[in-house]
């Protein structure tokens, strides 16, 4: 996998959400939230249940359209994203409760992730020879690298519907990686995993970030994990941003502690 070419240099802001407010009917999911994601960093979004974390990701890749606020990506201002555009401009995403193509094998799921990169038209597809097959093979190579990277050789041909949850999450990450994204959004990548699986997942996330230079924004419940992984942390509570700093600072932040205790109590 080659590094996704981005016209934003490392360290500079890759994506920023500005004063986002999102309402469903009467309910306010996000209230005037702003933060930025810098190129090459691992950005964590945390907060108690119902804090609006997932809604935030949905806004970023255009599932939800905020009533107010804007998204700045690659420096250009967008009143609203839409999923297709997000995908094409290099944003990949995994879901809290896996959103794989259950009827398809691991291999096909990952190959599907290459959809954007495959160009051969109907004619060649019909023949499935010459250029079409060459293209297919070229992308198969990339996908195999990902399979090797995620150590899922053994389940290549298994329909993902039959896989245990932990592996499904891994495959979903694989599908996202197959898009060679510039920005990778991970929605609770470690829920429902045992310790070992969590460690693997952490390793993968770090390697993705370090090897492919992929910028990562992740939601996670497990505070420990977040603190180890992320370079900066945004904390949401009831749709508001209550903190935004490096892990250690956030840990000390009274507002954050309050919010979490509030949940606990």
Partner 1 sequence: MHFLYLVFIDPFVQMGMAPDLLAQTLWEGLVSGVLYALIALGFVLIYKASGVFNFAQGIMVVFAALTLVGLYAAGVPALLALALTVAVMFVLAVAIERLVLRPLVNRPDIILFMATFGLTYVLVGMGELVFGGDTKQMIAKQLYLPSGAIDLAMLGGRVTLQKLDIAAAIIASVMVAALAVVFQYTRIGRALRAVADSHRAALSVGISLNQIWVIVWFAAGIVALATGIMWGARSEVSFALEVVALKALPVLILGGFTSIPGAIVGGLIVGLSEKLFELYWGPLMGGGTEAWFAYVVALIVLLFRPHGLFGEVIIERI
Partner 2 sequence: MFYREVGQYRTSYRADMAIFPILQDRIGLLVILAVAFVGLPLVGGSFFLDVVATPFLIYALAAIGLNLLTGYTGLLSLGTGGFMGIGAYACYKLTTWFPGVDIVVWILAGGFAAAAVGALFGLPSLRIKGFYLLVATLAAQFFLQWAFERIPWLYNNNVSGTIEVPTRTLLGLPITGATATPVTRYEVALCIVVVLTWLASNLVHGRIGRSWMAVRDMDIAAELIGIRLLPTKLLSFAISSYLCGVAGAMLVFLWYGSAEPSVFSIDLSFTILFMVIIGGLGSLLGAFLGAALIHVLPIVLRGVPPALGIDIASSTVEHLNLMIVGVLIILFLVAEPFGLARLWQTGKQKLRVWPFPY
Partner 3 sequence: MLEGDVAHRDTFPKLLALNARRFGARPAFRHKDRGIWRSWSWTETEREVRAYALGLLRLGLRRGDAFAILGNNRPKLYWSFTAAQWLGAIPVPLYADAIADEIGYVLAHAEARLAAAQDQEQVDKIIAVAERVPGLARVVYDEPRGMRDYDHTRLVAIDDIIAEGRRALAADPSLDAWLDAELAKGGAGDVCVILYTSGTTGRPKGVEIGSGRAIAAAANSVAFDRLDERDEVLAYLPLAWAGDHYLTYAQSLVAGYCVSCPESPETVAENLREIGPTYYFGPPRVFETLLTATTVRIADASAMKRTLYRYFMAVARRYGERILNREPVPPGARLLYALGRLLVYGPLMNALGFSRVRVAYTAGEAIGPDLFRFFRALGMNLKQFYGQTEAFILLTSQADRDVRADTVGPVVADVEVRIAADGEVLYKSASQFLGYLKDAERTAEAMTGDGYVRTGDAGFFDAAGHLHIIDRAKDVGRLRGGALFAPKYIENKLKFFPNIREAVAFGDGRDFVTCFLNIDLTAVADWAERNGVTYGSYQELAGHDRVIALLAEHVRAVNRDLAAEEATAGAQIRRFLVLHKELDADDGELTRTQKVRRRFIAERYARLVDALYDGSETVDVETEVMFEDGRKGTIAARVKIHDMASGAARAERAAA
Binding site for partner 2 (CB under 8 A): 61, 63, 83-84, 86-88, 92-93, 95, 99-104, 108, 111-116, 118, 120, 122, 125-128, 132-133, 135-137, 140-141, 175, 178-179
Shortest Å distance, C-beta 116 to partner 2: 4
Of the candidates 12, 55, 57, the residue with the CA atom closest to the CA atom of residue 36 = 12
Sole binder of partner 3 in the list 38, 72, 156, 221 (CB under 8 A): 156
Task: Determine the Cα angle at 163 with ends 162 and 167, to 5°.
Answer: 165
Concatenating the DSSP letter of every residue in 72-110 gives EETTEEES---HHHHHHTTEEEE-SS----TTSBHHHHH
Q: How many residues bind partner 3 (CB under 8 A)?
A: 15
Closer to partner 2 by Cβ: residue 128 or 203: 128
Closer to partner 1 by Cβ: residue 139 or 175: 175
Structure tokens at 203: 């390793």
How far apart are alpha carbons 165 and 188 in whole angstroms? 13
Sole binder of partner 1 in the list 21, 63, 112, 213 (CB under 8 A): 63
Sole binder of partner 3 in the list 3, 12, 134, 148 (CB under 8 A): 148
How far apart are alpha carbons 251 and 232 in whole angstroms? 11
Structure tokens at 256: 């954050």
Percent helix, percent strand, percent coil in the chain, to nearest 5: 40, 25, 35
Q: Which does 100 bind (CB under 5 to 8 A by kind): partner 1, partner 2, partner 3, none?
A: partner 2
Closer to partner 1 by Cβ: residue 160 or 250: 160
Q: Which does 249 bind (CB under 5 to 8 A by kind): partner 1, partner 2, partner 3, none?
A: none
Would you say 41 and 218 are in contact if contact means Cβ atoms under 8 Å apart? no
Shortest Å distance, C-beta 261 to partner 2: 36
Is residue 3 near partner 3 by the rule CB under 8 A? no
Closer to partner 1 by Cβ: residue 24 or 265: 24
Sole binder of partner 3 in the list 116, 154, 261, 263 (CB under 8 A): 154
Map tokens 């401009």 to a residue. 89
Is residue 210 near partner 3 by the rule CB under 8 A? yes
Is residue 225 near partner 3 by the rule CB under 8 A? no
How far apart are alpha carbons 15 and 89 in whole angstroms? 11
């Amino acid at each position: 996998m080659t590094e996704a070419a981005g016209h934003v240099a490392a360290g500079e802001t890759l994506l920023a959400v500005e004063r986002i407010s999102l309402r469903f009917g009467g309910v306010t999911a996000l209230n005037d939230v702003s933060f930025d994601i810098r190129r090459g960093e691992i950005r964590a979004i945390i907060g108690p249940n119902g804090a609006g974390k997932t809604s935030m990701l949905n806004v970023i890749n255009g599932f939800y359209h905020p009533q107010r606020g804007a998204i700045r990506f690659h420096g250009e201002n967008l009143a609203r994203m839409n999923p297709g555009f997000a995908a094409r401009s290099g944003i990949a995403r995994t879901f809290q409760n896996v959103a794989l193509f259950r009827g398809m094998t691991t291999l096909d799921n990952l190959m599907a992730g290459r959809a954007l990169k495959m160009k051969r038209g109907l004619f060649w597809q019909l023949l499935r020879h010459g250029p079409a097959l060459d293209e297919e093979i070229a992308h198969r190579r990339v996908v195999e690298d990902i399979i090797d990277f995620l150590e899922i050789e053994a389940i290549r041909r298994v329909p993902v519907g039959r896989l245990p949850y932990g592996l499904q999450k891994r495959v979903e990450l694989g599908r996202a990686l197959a898009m060679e994204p510039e920005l990778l959004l991970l929605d609770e990548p470690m829920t429902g995993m045992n310790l070992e699986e969590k460690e693997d997942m952490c390793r993968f996330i770090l390697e993705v970030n370090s090897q492919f230079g992929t910028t990562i924004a992740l939601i996670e419940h497990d505070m420990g994990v977040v603190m180890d992984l992320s370079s900066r942390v945004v904390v949401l509570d009831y749709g508001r941003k209550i903190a935004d700093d490096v892990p250690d600072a956030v840990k000390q932040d009274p507002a954050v502690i309050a919010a979490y205790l509030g949940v606990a109590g």
